[in-house]
Structure 1
Amino acid sequence: MNINTKLRLSFMMFLEFFIWSSWFVTLGTFLGANLMANGQEVALAFSTQSFGAIIAPFVVGLIADRYFHAQRILGVIHLLGAGLMYLLYTATDFAGFFPILLGYMILFMPTLALVNSVSFNQMTNPAKEFSVIRVWGTIGWITAGVIISYFAWDSQAGIKEGLLENTWIMAGVSSLILGLYSFTLPATPPQAKSSDKIKLSEILGLDALSLLKHKNFAIFFISSILICIPLAFYYQNASPFLTEIGLEKSTGKMALGQVSEVVFMLALPVFFSRFGIKKTLIVAMIAWAVRYIFFAFGDANEGVWMLLVGIALHGICYDFFFVSGQIYTDAHAGAKYKSSAQGLITLATYGVGMLIGFWAAGLISDYYTNEAGAHLWKSIWLIPSGISVLVLLFFISLFKREQIN
């Protein structure tokens, strides 16, 4: 792949995750401050990610793989997304906001697979080339958070002035740019023939259900769904929590989680090969429990280091569980179920697991809100920490040591 193609794909990946980070990180804070949403409404808004993840395989498997060039579908989706971002910017209540966000996420989630398809189509050795392209997505995510904090849109003063609304404009303009830019990307024609028989089970990854006959994989599969429950607490509550306790430039500081993601992504192959899959997953689950304990007992003053360490643990939490889990799934699937198995895990985690997690986080956030509208954050964060410990004990007791080649 020549340098010009690398630069073009890197810019595409940068914009893709810049758009998502522009509004997703501060969504909980925006909904509470601007639309006066309660915990269950915030949970419903975040659940649109899960609904999008469930529907995404249909868009990619039924349309992109069969009828149209991936880069053209990507362009159309982001142009439509730019218009929806403007509508979200103008929404005045949750009732009007939610259906627009749902429509947007149903469109957006398939683009995560589309940018990968466009990238892989230009590569001769994806194992070596893809990470260099994908890392620019993480840089895009970090950049959006830094911009939000630089202009103090997420500060308590900025929120009172309604400046957090600017995130939707930033996301909309970026989506417009990527929509137009996508039509200049290298051609990525459909791989399947439109006349080929459509297998719904293959699109949803259900062909890989036979892998659950292997006890270890079944335990890993169940643990993957369960660990998404505490993960949802982080996505949904971290920004409102940090803003409410008075941590300045919180969105920029939350980008520390993506910085650590890059660092631990590099460390993962060494740790994985030396200690194996079981210990790698155990370390991830311990990190999950510890991060929420730090959130429970940290504060914006003397305890700020606990908050920053908790954010930085995101790299271990995510990379050591989900990335190593993808490797483990690939090893079990073999050539026959390689794509189906990854689709099944994505559907189970980002679809089912996160959906349960967002619902639970909303209920618990409402339950631990006092009459003045302030959250009892210590109680809220100790619950996902406890869930992480329970999942850890379940996994340790039933998952047998296994060598992955």
Structure 2
Amino acid sequence: MNLKIRLTIMNFLQFFIWGAWLITIGGYWFKTMQWSGTEFGAIFSTMGIASIFMPALAGIIADRYISAEKLLGIFHVIGAGILCYLPQIDNPSTFFVVMLLNMIFYMPTISLSITVAYSALQKNNLDIVKVYPPIRVWGTVGFIVAMWVVSLLKIETSPAQFYVAALASISLGLYSFTLPSCGVNKGGSSKTWVEALGFDAFKLFKQKKMALFFIFSMLLGASLQLTNAYGDIFLHEFDTNPLFKDSIAVKYPAIIMSISQVSETLFILAIPFFLKRFGIKNVMLMSMFAWVLRFGLLGIGDPGSGLVWIIISCIVYGMAFDFFNISGSLYVESQTDEKIRASGQGLFMMMTNGFGAVLGSSVSGVMIDQFFTDTEGLRDWPNIWFAFAAYSLVVAILFAVLFKHKHNPKDIESFSH
């Protein structure tokens, strides 16, 4: 089978698994189980906690001991079993523990799938900047398809969404063992113990530019978790308002929110042009200001006459998400030796979906309960979104001032070699 098609299938299933529950778990949590917002923030922090150590650890294992494609398969098979167990749980504390276990095996697969793709493309002398985005876009398509499947089956508030994810997970787990081998770099006896264990990638923090990059990756990772955690339930809660309860956005919120992923597919394809024209720093800066706009538009939107603002917000999301996450992974690739490729991507994942996710989910959960929820449990969504927008604006301004990076088109061209 053609290499591009093989990697396309991998990306499709990788994000189908996540899309089957990530956006709709809020409906299950608040509507079906009727658990609290603070506890919900803790659930979303599980991906952050797992990402603090697992992507980096998995990267070390993939670089030194077990090839990335095999590790990808092992983790997805285990993840499928855990997803099947989630619907059996009837209390938030146990749900937290099991979801954390699920995230421990899922989160590193994101960076592992990137490693598999980059390795295979480089071995075939293909230009990663040109070839990878059209492949990666099918991951977003997988996420969209999963959201539509869950929404059209009317299981947005049902535990059945976890079974859909489990089916995709076992499929990708088995398929991963057929992917091109990435190999391992065990090294020789002259290696220091730090190099032998694969901790070389942590040396990147010694470089001021890379340290700043990882810090801002963490701060922007917080913004991503906010939109994932609260977007779906934001629309669901309009069902208490007689003016909106019969609107399409309230009946099928996952489909409305999936416009964000449709937008992703367009912006992913635009990344090669923007990177070569404006450079990595400016592209990442565009992402940060897009987050400000994303949250601000949600603050003025509603399922009625304000639906247009929600839709525009979803379109802006494509730039907000892609321009930092994919450009950021390419930036890490440009700054790391191939011997620590997987470890470097693991560090990036650790900062964005690790520390960033914990920061965003834990702080937002408490903040919303304390300052934006009334005594009857009703949330003040406009001011919640405006607070998120203000946070993103501060991060964008600091990044523009502090992160120094001069655009050199040759840096982008180097990905093809």
CA distance in 1, matches of 2:260, 2:188: 42
User: Cα gap change, 1:296/1:76 in structure 2, threshold over 3 Å: closer, same or farther?
Assistant: same
In structure 2, relative to structure 1, the CA distance for the partners of 1:203 and 1:146 (3 Å cut) is farther
Q: Match for residue 152 of structure 2?
A: 150
Q: Deviations over 1:39-69 (max 9, x none)?
A: 2211111111112212224542443333334
**CA 1:119 to 1:231, structure 2 compared with 1: closer, same or farther past 3 Å?**
closer
Residue number in structure 2 paired with 1:102:
100
| Conserved 8 A contact 2:13-2:172 | yes
Q: CA distance change for structure 1 residues 204 and 47 in 2, over 3 Å: closer, same or farther?
A: farther
Q: Partners in 2 of 1:331 and 1:177 — Cα distance? A: 32
Give me the whole-angstrom Cα distance separating, in 1, the residues matched to 2:336 and 2:145. 36
CA–CA distance in structure 1, aligned partners of residues 393 and 68 of structure 2: 42
| 1:404 to 1:319, Cα distance in 2 relative to 1, 3 A | farther
Aligned ranges 1:3-402 → 2 under 5 Å? 3=2, 5-57=3-55, 59-123=57-121, 124-126=124-126, 127=128, 128-154=130-156, 159=157, 164-192=158-186, 199=194, 202-203=198-199, 205-212=201-208, 214=209, 219-246=212-239, 247=249, 248-331=251-334, 342-367=345-370, 368-399=372-403, 402=406
Letter of the structure 2 residue corresponding to residue 386 of structure 1: A
Report which stretch shifted further, 380-389 or 328-337: 328-337
Does the 8 Å CA contact 1:203/1:343 hold for their aligned counterparts?
A: no
Quote the offset at 1:142 in angstroms: 0.9
How far residue 314 of structure 1 moved from its aligned partner, in angstroms, is 1.1
State the Cα deviation string for residues 325-363 of structure 1 (Å, max 9, x = none).
344455556789866654443322222222111111111
For residues 9-51 of structure 1, the C-alpha deviation after alignment (integer angstroms, 9 at most, x for no partner) is 3223221211111111112222222332222211111111112
* Residues 340 and 385 of structure 1, relative CA distance in 2, 3 Å threshold: same
Which shows bigger deviation, 312-321 or 275-284? Answer: 275-284
How far off its partner does 1:130 sit? 3.3
Instruction: Specify the SS of the correspondent of 1:313.
Output: helix
Cα shift readout 1:238-279 (whole Å, capped 9, x = no counterpart)? 111122124231112222112211211222333333334454
- Worse-superposed segment, 237-246 or 324-333: 324-333
Task: Work out whether residues 329 and 342 of structure 1, in 8 Å CA contact, stay in contact via their aligned partners in 2.
Answer: yes
Question: Residue type matched to 1:383 in 2?
Answer: A
Alignment length (residue pairs):
392
Name structure 2 gaps, 5 residues minimum: 240-248, 410-417
Find the residue that maps to 1:138 and give its secondary structure.
Answer: helix
CA contact (8 A) 2:69 2:181 kept: yes
User: Taking structure 1 as reference, are residues 371 and 400 closer, same or farther at Cα in structure 2, changes over 3 Å only?
Assistant: same
Cα distance, 1:293 vs structure 2: 1.3
The CA distance in 2 between the partners of 1:64 and 1:269, in whole Å, is: 28
Summarize deviations over 1:121-147 as a string: whole Å, max 9, x none: 543135154334322222111110111
Q: Is the 8 A contact 2:23 2:232 kept in 1?
A: yes
Q: 1:194: how far off?
A: 9.6
Q: TM-score, normalised by structure 1?
A: 0.86
Instruction: Tell me the distance in 2 between the aligned counterparts of 1:57 and 1:153.
Output: 30
* Further displaced range: 76-85 or 356-365: 76-85
Cα distance in 2, alignment partners of residues 278 and 7 from structure 1: 31
Distance 1:320 1:207 in 2: 25
Secondary structure at the counterpart of residue 374 of structure 2: coil
| Structure 1 position 110, deviation (Å) | 2.0
Q: TM-score scaled to structure 2, two decimals? A: 0.84
1:65 aligns to what SS in structure 2?
helix
Q: Which runs of 5+ in 1 are unaligned?
A: none
Could you tell me how far apart the structure 1 residues matched to 2:119 and 2:351 are?
27
- Taking only aligned residues, the RMSD between alpha carbons, in angstroms, comes to 2.9
C-alpha separation in 2, matches of 1:341 and 1:193:
17
CA distance in 1, matches of 2:318, 2:335: 24
Amino acid at match of 1:142: I
SS of the equivalent of 1:205 reads helix
State the secondary structure of the residue aligned to 1:24: coil
Code of the aligned partner of 1:21: G
